């Protein structure tokens, strides 16, 4: 029985308090100058003071300082005991107990309401201390704005297909080295194996670099205005992806030359969207092929 009471002490207290509030007032008459809460007659001053005490204790609890918390609770409890004893001496035991319970209930209720309001307010304030896009996301939950999502590479607006062109030339040069090395009669040497392994690895890496550079420009830079002006950009990009993958798998110089031509076309379109003229010049290094560059 004792364990049950301790386990459910708050439920029992609330039930007992509610029973006092809803049961008929029979212990004493209701006076016209006061408001009646069934058995207990609380003046407006008493009611407001209990609410004030609850709010005060709530702010002391919010301070999270142990001394303030202890003082607040002791003060509230001491005042309730004092008020109850005073009413017991003047109006009887039942009235004093009811004052203690109902006064405590009102103070507890005002304390919890104040505490909950403060927590809600604090959460909202913390949300508005967030970075701008998080502020907008919070406002969006209230006003339901239409969402538009975008992503920008850092640094912004710096796009140049020259890296893709160099990667393509590197692939062609590596294919040439592989073919030259393979044409040697002595293939059983460590040097041969080392050269072939290195060239195959670098050809794989340069092909992937080429695809990545083209993907970034095509995916991030080209928008509706550029695509409407050059609708062939999608087909060119797709062919570049296919031939770059083939360059990983094969050692085909002809396909690699086609790949360079497509990358040159891609570069010409890119610079045209910026109203910059281009020209084709022979690269000053092997494999000495024509590449597109802007006239700056």
Question: Over the stretch 85-107, which tens digit does the pLDDT of each residue have?
Answer: 887 787 777 777 777 777 777 77
Please calculate the CA angle 74-76-80 and round it to the nearest 5 degrees. 115
The per-residue DSSP string of 145-205 comes to PPP------SSTT---THHHHHHHHHHHHHHHHHHHHHHSS--SSHHHHHHHHHHHHHHHH
Per-residue pLDDT reduced to its tens digit, 203-246: 999 999 999 999 999 999 999 999 999 999 999 999 999 999 99
Among the listed residues 38, 41, 34, the one whose alpha carbon sits nearest the alpha carbon of residue 20: 38
Q: What integer best gives the mean pLDDT of the chain?
A: 79
CB distance 278 to 291 below 8 Å? no
Burial class (CB in 10 A: 0-12, 13-18, 19+), 98: buried
Per-residue pLDDT reduced to its tens digit, 13-65: 556 555 554 444 444 444 443 444 444 455 666 667 777 777 777 777 666 67
User: Which one has a higher pLDDT value, 173 or 22?
Assistant: 173
If DSSP codes are grouped into helix, strand and coil, which group holds residue 230?
coil
96: CB partners within 8 A, 6+ apart: 84, 85, 86, 87, 88, 89
Within the chain, strands assigned E span: 35-37, 40-42, 278-282, 290-294
Select, from the ranges 106-110, 122-126, 266-270, the one with the highest average predicted confidence (pLDDT). 266-270
If DSSP codes are grouped into helix, strand and coil, which group holds residue 262?
helix
Class of domain 162-294: mainly alpha
Hey, where are the domains in the chain? 2-141, 162-294
The pTM of the full predicted model, rounded to 2 decimals, is 0.50
Length of the chain in residues, anyone?
296
Q: Which tokens hold the place of 242?
A: 């296919």
Per-residue pLDDT reduced to its tens digit, 55-71: 777 777 666 677 777 77
Range of lowest pLDDT (18-32, 162-176, 240-254): 18-32
């Amino acid at each position: 029985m004792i364990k049950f009471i301790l386990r459910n002490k708050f439920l029992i207290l609330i039930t007992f308090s509610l029973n006092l509030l809803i049961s008929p007032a029979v212990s004493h008459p209701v006076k016209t100058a006061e408001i009646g809460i069934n058995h207990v007659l609380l003046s407006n001053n008493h009611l407001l003071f209990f609410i004030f005490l609850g709010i005060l204790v709530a702010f002391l609890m919010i301070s999270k300082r142990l001394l303030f918390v202890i003082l607040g609770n002791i003060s509230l409890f001491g005042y309730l005991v004092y008020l109850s004893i005073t009413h017991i001496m003047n109006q009887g035991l039942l009235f004093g107990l009811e004052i203690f319970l109902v006064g405590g209930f009102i103070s507890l209720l005002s304390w919890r309401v104040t505490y909950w309001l403060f927590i809600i307010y604090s959460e909202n304030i913390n949300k508005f201390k967030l970075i701008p896009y998080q502020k907008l996301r919070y406002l969006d939950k209230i006003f339901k704005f239409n969402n538009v999502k975008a992503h920008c590479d850092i640094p912004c607006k710096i796009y140049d297909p020259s890296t893709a062109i160099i990667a393509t030339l590197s692939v062609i040069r590596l294919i040439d080295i592989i073919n030259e090395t393979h044409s040697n009669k002595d293939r059983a040497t460590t040097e041969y194996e080392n050269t072939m392994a290195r060239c195959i690895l670098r050809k794989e890496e340069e092909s992937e670099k080429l695809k990545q550079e083209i993907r970034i420009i095509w995916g991030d830079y080209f928008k509706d205005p550029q695509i409407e002006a050059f609708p062939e950009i999608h087909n060119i990009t797709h062919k570049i992806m296919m031939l770059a993958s083939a360059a990983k798998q094969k050692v085909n110089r002809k396909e690699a030359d086609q790949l360079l031509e497509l990358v040159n076309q891609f570069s010409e379109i890119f610079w045209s969207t910026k109203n910059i003229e281009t020209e084709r010049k022979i690269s000053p290094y092997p494999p000495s092929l024509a590449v597109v560059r802007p006239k700056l």
